[in-house]
Amino acid sequence: MAANVVRVYLYVYSTTEFGLPGYTLAVTHNGAPQNVDVTSQAGLPEQTRAEPGPYTRFTNMNMIFVEPQAGSWEIQLIDVNGQIMGPAARFDLSADENTREIYVRYRRK
């Protein structure tokens, strides 16, 4: 992945459905809100990698942020009504982070 790029993957699902549609994320980087203009898709999820492996995960939404990755990233799930769902996830990335990928998974109860 190119320098100064962070990719965020989301997989939101339930015990009875693979992918839940219409969810989005509120993302901040060092406290500054980031633009998120995508929502999760229903149905069978995609995978984060083309080949099976230890870093392959399910995803039904992903986005890319082009900016220096160092610092604190906070990610909060937002439902179809704009309500905050579940706890926020926090990730601290260094300036020399190799992967620059953040993966969050939420299961609706």
pLDDT tens per residue, range 14-43 = 999 999 999 999 999 999 999 999 999 999
Residue-level pLDDT at 70: 92
What is the reported pTM? 0.91
Q: Which of 99, 18, 2 is nearest to 60 (CA)?
A: 18
CATH fold label, 5-108: Immunoglobulin-like (2.60.40)
Residue whose pair of structure tokens reads 């230890």 in the numeric block: 54
Domain residues of the chain, as ranges? 5-108
How many other CB atoms are there within 10 angstroms of residue 79's CB atom? 16
- How far is residue 41 from each of residues 17, 20, 49, 81, measured CA to CA in Å? 12, 6, 18, 15
